[in-house]
Amino acid sequence: MEGVRIAVVVFLLQYAEGSLIEIGVVSGNADAIQVITNNVTGHVGRVHWFEERRGSIFYKAAQISSMRNYNLDLIITPHPVRGKSVSVISPGLIQEESWLDFYRNDPSSSPAYPSEPYFSDHLHHTSHVIHTLLWTSTTIFSDRENRVDAKRLASELSRHGVKPQLVLVKTDGSNLIFLEQIMDTIGMDKMKHRLRFVLMCSLPLVKQILREAEDWDKYYGKGSLFRHFSQWLLLLSRSSLGAIEGMDLKLDHVAVISRSDRDFDVGQLSQWVVNTMVEVLSSMHTCNRSDATDSFLQIVRKEHAEGTINTMLHTLLWKPHGRKFSQVQRSRYDTSLNDVFPNLKLGLNQRELRIAALEFQPFVKRHERNGNLTFTHASIDLVDHLKSVLNFTYSFTEPADGEWGHPVSGDLSNYTGLLGMLQREEVDLIATPMGYTGERDHVADFLPFVHESYNGMILRDTQGSSKLSSALTDPFRWQVYAVGGGTLLGVLLLYLAIEWSNPFYHDTISVAKGLKPAGVLDTVTYLFGSAINQGGVHLPVSCSGRILLSFWWLFIIVMTAAYSGNLIASLTVIRKTPPFASLDDIFADANLKIGLVGGGAVLQETLETSNDSKLMGLWEKIAASKDLDNDILNHNPSVHLKKVMTENYAFLNDILELEVFMKTLCDVYILKEQFVPQQYSLLLPKDSPLTDMFSKEIITVQEIGLMEYWLRKWKPKLNDSACPSTEKGAKPIGLEKLAAALLALLVGVLFSGMCLLIELVVKAST
């Protein structure tokens, strides 16, 4: 029997008297009786070979009795439960029914020994690994041949506070619907924390279960649940590692507790048994076979533990040329979580996420070059940050209809646009921030908001720059001119009252010198001349009059300086006067049309359902405009901006995007009144397993201010070259700015000419 590879289990059934040791060996091929002699002690052992056949001791208890007729001391035989493993059991502990029951269904059939080693010898090690992984629950899948060991593992885990669920899988695989059953009993919110599996099955069943997990992940797990959150412990032989590697699994966390058995030569094993037994008998002071048996069992068990079984832990890693196993444990109790599942530190392991987006500045801007679609701006910077932290790649797409998404005919299970793609799981993430609504919450998972803003309205300045005739009046408001005129009149009256009633002019000296107060015309001329920085010849002689004029000059100097400065500013800077300041002004213009981005935008949904009187009036005006123009609810912002620049049109949108448009267009302004506050977030599919990890990182981004930095980075600067009103520095003054001054000069020439004519007539008549 040299060269025969077989693992054995030793059963001590009876003990013969005398020095001759009788050994029975069951093997695939029977051989003649073999005599083994111990050269040291001279003891002789005799080996009886029994052929492994149907009806042998593996399947009928009666065969044991028939072999006892040979008065055997030991029987060496393959164990029907443990396969190739070696174990020693005392005769008093043998329960024939416990292992014969595996074959009771068809006792007449040929033996069908398991092709893989059984796990009884390292269940304690498996329990230790699970305890190290901090599992609170696990599902153990076992086939019929391993159900006893699976129950033992479940019992040991229960004693250590781990809640096990034992699932028996038929050998033919006909009831492999275990994942569906799990998902029916566990809520999705707890699912990713409960996907802890132990597989104690034959290799074909293990492969079938793993394949089913990957298939279910495509349809039920959003492409991520099992792949990134499930953890798998497989109990297999060392020789099965290559078969698992060849499956090219996408599951991230797979570890194998493996065992290998030492190759045994039956002849050498028999010689070792005889020599060991003889050594035990020789060392005993008495020839008590029972005591000798106990000593022999201790030696065999020690040999079994140290030499026949070798338990190791391997984990499946991502390598350049596919998935490969790597040994991560050198001793039995040096395991850590990062050792068993090192991919936990690698995030999503370079998984490619499908990302959908629509242009929404300054968050997302669309670019298409040579048929390649790309997006940039603040929201894409956020996605790139998540990519580097969570270790994934991505590809872009956009909805064919270009819409944000709204229910088709009110059916909440059938959305259009971005939400429809997310609902049908065509994409894994919407990178364009979207506003929250209760209806959308049933379709998608909203991540923590990345921006909080209001909605507003952009319009074109139809009045343009300052009027031609207003250059001289622009420096001050009309209230200033009214107060100035009143002050001039008051000072004139006060001056006349002081001068005409002043006793200074009635003094003898004053009368002798011919001093007298100025007349009304002279006073008016002097005060008006001082207002335009021109003095006069009719200065008062009295002290009271001069003091009054001194303070009048202080007032005039300040006012003329302010007027001159504002006049220069008004001539060099274009001033715009918005025609509308509030929604009430908007409602008052019957010819003004109002539009907004349609296709399921959150602003449209809010206006349609709002109970606020102003918002209701705004929607009524939009609805009235829609009857006149089909582009009122166009989903392309460029269409609305074009209408703003060419028609009497107002465009509703988020205030942040309107500010972007205002900096790139000329002669437009944003209505001061704002409405409908809104929070914007990125979206994942409903109940996505990625929600937690994405949410934590976005919160971190918000706390350190990265999102605000990216928004400032992509906000455009003023379009100075296209809009003259925004140019910096001195600007040339056009004729229209000087029209008022020229008109004033013309009036002065005409008035002076008229006065000259009157003087000539008066002189000629006298």
Tell me what pLDDT residue 105 has.
39
Query: Average of pLDDT values for 472-489?
Result: 83
Quick one: 287 and 254 in the same domain?
Answer: no
pLDDT band at 102 (very low <50, low <70, confident <90, very high): very low
Tell me what pLDDT residue 385 has.
93
Residue 300 has pLDDT above 70, yes or no: no
Tell me what pLDDT residue 116 has.
41
Residue 4 has pLDDT above 50, yes or no: no
Instruction: List the structure tokens of 244.
Output: 């698992």
| Torsion angle of C-alpha atoms 469, 475, 480, 486, degrees rounded to 10 | -60
Q: Is 637 helix (H, G, I), strand (E, B) or coil?
A: helix
Query: Average of pLDDT values for 379-400?
Result: 91
Answer whether 538's CB lies under 8 Å from 525's CB: yes
Q: Print the domain residue range for 273.
A: 9-113+265-305
Tell me what pLDDT residue 177 has.
58
Tell me what pLDDT residue 247 has.
87
Residue 609 has pLDDT above 70, yes or no: yes
Please tell me the distance from the alpha carbon of residue 53 to that of residue 531, in angstroms, as a whole number: 132
Answer whether 442's CB lies under 8 Å from 685's CB: no
- Per the model's pLDDT, the better-predicted residue between 718 and 757 turns out to be 757
Tell me what pLDDT residue 270 has.
63
Where residue 166 sits, what CATH number does that domain have?
3.40.50.2300
Residues 243-297 pLDDT 10s: 898 888 888 889 998 866 554 455 666 666 667 766 666 665 545 555 665 666 5
Q: Which of 58-72, 96-110, 701-715 shows the lowest mean pLDDT across its residues?
A: 96-110
Quick one: 100 and 210 in the same domain?
Answer: no
Residue 58 has pLDDT above 50, yes or no: no
Please tell me the distance from the alpha carbon of residue 467 to that of residue 464, in angstroms, as a whole number: 9
Residue 83 has pLDDT above 90, yes or no: no
Please tell me the distance from the alpha carbon of residue 263 to that of residue 339, in angstroms, as a whole number: 30
In a domain, 90, yes or no: yes
Residue 388 has pLDDT above 70, yes or no: yes
Please tell me the distance from the alpha carbon of residue 698 to that of residue 681, in angstroms, as a whole number: 10
Quick one: 147 and 164 in the same domain?
Answer: yes
Instruction: Compute the C-alpha angle 263/268/272, nearest 5°.
Output: 110
- Neighbouring C-alpha atoms within 13 Å toward the C-beta of 224: 26
| Structural domain total, the chain | 4
Quick one: 150 and 253 in the same domain?
Answer: yes
Please tell me the distance from the alpha carbon of residue 670 to that of residue 459, in angstroms, as a whole number: 6
Tell me what pLDDT residue 511 has.
73
Residue 238's Cβ-count burial label (10 Å; 0-12, 13-18, 19+) is middle
pLDDT band at 33 (very low <50, low <70, confident <90, very high): low
Quick one: 91 and 68 in the same domain?
Answer: yes
pLDDT band at 61 (very low <50, low <70, confident <90, very high): very low
Please tell me the distance from the alpha carbon of residue 358 to that of residue 126, in angstroms, as a whole number: 50
Tell me what pLDDT residue 192 has.
62
Q: Is 453 helix (H, G, I), strand (E, B) or coil?
A: strand
Q: Which of 163-177, 368-382, 433-447, 481-495 shows the lowest mean pLDDT across its residues?
A: 163-177
Residues 619-656 pLDDT 10s: 888 888 888 888 888 888 888 988 988 888 999 988 88
Please tell me the distance from the alpha carbon of residue 389 to that of residue 194, in angstroms, as a whole number: 25
In a domain, 206, yes or no: yes
Quick one: 488 and 509 in the same domain?
Answer: yes
In a domain, 3, yes or no: no
Quick one: 245 and 125 in the same domain?
Answer: yes
Above pLDDT 90, what percent of the chain? 7
Helix spans in 581-671 (H): 583-588, 602-609, 613-628, 637-646, 655-664
| Torsion angle of C-alpha atoms 415, 419, 424, 426, degrees rounded to 10 | 140
User: Token pair 């048994």 is at which residue?
Assistant: 273
Instruction: Tell me the pLDDT of the chain averaged across its residues.
Output: 75
Quick one: 128 and 104 in the same domain?
Answer: no
Tell me what pLDDT residue 75 has.
66
**Domain end point (choices 572, 605, 640):** 572
Please tell me the distance from the alpha carbon of residue 86 to that of residue 685, in angstroms, as a whole number: 53
Query: Average of pLDDT values for 406-425?
Result: 84
Tell me what pLDDT residue 304 has.
53
Quick one: 162 and 291 in the same domain?
Answer: no
Residues 558-607 pLDDT 10s: 888 888 888 877 777 666 667 787 888 888 888 888 989 887 778 888 88
Query: Average of pLDDT values for 69-88?
Result: 52
Tell me what pLDDT residue 379 has.
93
| Torsion angle of C-alpha atoms 525, 527, 528, 530, degrees rounded to 10 | 120
Quick one: 134 and 235 in the same domain?
Answer: yes
Tell me what pLDDT residue 484 has.
84
pLDDT band at 10 (very low <50, low <70, confident <90, very high): very low
- Per the model's pLDDT, the better-predicted residue between 417 and 222 turns out to be 417
